[in-house]
Structure 1
Amino acid sequence: MIVCIADLLTPEEVNGLRAGLAQAEFGSGQATAGWHARLVKQNEQAVPQAAIEPLKTTLQTALARSALFQAVACPRAIHSLLFSRYGVGMGYGRHTDNALMGGANVYRSDLSFTVFLSGPEEYDGGELVIEGADSEQPYKLAAGSALVYPSTTLHRVETVVRGDRLVAVGWVQSLVRDAARREILFDLEAVKRTLFAQTGKTPEFDLLTKTTANLLRQWAE
């Protein structure tokens, strides 16, 4: 399941993140790539520094308040946050994200997400392309929007040919490991919210809430 979240960040938050990153030190993105991904990764990433921590907090706060992100991801942990920059000639070739991340504190990567900090009008190329079984789909979202997608996919970032592509990326270890079960819970949550908006707290809503909660109890790790 691939989900676009429009306006995850407010315009003020986007501007704040961009202003903070304009003062940050960047280094080679290959430092955080697996041994084979380094062969195809050409970008820059903000190096760990005190000035980056408030920017990560802004991003974590936005993810925590997004009901859509919470429903899609069922997060146990949001981890390995990075701020990446792609200038002209930079891209990230076809790869799959590492299954385990985090160094000393190891987390599983069930879901990946990209938060777009540059608007699509600011750069050419740079599309995030996610492969399916028999097709592929490019994504280039508005600044402040996020794309959440399975970490199991093959994906790439096309070469930037004009401007700069600035994004935040991160990963989720979900409470529900199985993607099919996460999708069932997501669909049930969508039905719950629609039903509540239409008829309020009815016996049918209560029964659906009970079923959703009991499935989560059964499936959560």
Structure 2
Amino acid sequence: MVLNFANLITPDEQRVLLDLMARAVAGQSGVLAETGRVVTTALVRQTDFVDAVHPRALAGLRLSRLRPGMPAGVLVDEPLMGDSSLMRNDVAFMLFLNEPDGYEGGELQLDGERQRDTLETARTVAAVLPGWHNATSAPGAAR
């Protein structure tokens, strides 16, 4: 089951995240920590997310930015995450920063028990799914 949370981030936070992603590509340090701070603040502020997921703790976030034609490969989180005190990874999420009409491909493809589902969603939407779910991202191209 995939849960979608619309408007997880504000337009200002979206601009900050897109700027941080551009800086990460340029190799500037501190970007991951700042990105994590912005997204974590947004997650715990979203009462629907907190009520549905009941997060006890949030592990460090990973950034993925796909350029046109880049395949993401299989997106599988580690079952145990964290540094000193390991925590189980029961839930994963993808936060979409761009509108789907701005690119071709790039859809999140989820492998279910019997079928593959494709998810393409609007910007600022977080798709939350079980941590054990295998997911890939279709190669994309700018429109």
TM-score (norm 1): 0.59
Equivalent residue number for residue 98 of structure 2 = 118
Q: Give the structure, 1 or 2, with the largest relative contact order (CA under 8 Å, sep 6 or more).
A: 2
2:44 to 48, 64, 67: 64
| Alignment of 1:134 onto 2:99 | no
* Structure number with higher helix proportion: 1
Partners of 2:34 and 2:2 lie apart in 1 by: 28
| Alignment of 1:107 onto 2:75 | no
Equivalent residue number for residue 85 of structure 1 = 65
Equivalent residue number for residue 155 of structure 1 = 135
**Percentage identity across paired residues of the two chains:** 30
CA RMSD of aligned residues (A): 2.1
Deviations 1:95-147 (A, max 9, x none): 54321123444221100001011221222111111122222211121111100
Deviations 1:148-188 (A, max 9, x none): 0001112211112x129xxxxxxxxxxxxxxxxxxxxxxxx
Equivalent residue number for residue 22 of structure 1 = 22
* Structure 2 spans left out of the alignment, 5+ residues: none
Partners of 1:97 and 1:55 lie apart in 2 by: 18
Q: How many residue pairs were aligned?
A: 143
Equivalent residue number for residue 5 of structure 2 = 5
Greater C-alpha radius of gyration: 1
| Alignment of 1:75 onto 2:47 | no
SS of 2:62's equivalent?
Answer: strand
**Structure 1 moving runs of 4+ over 6 Å:** none
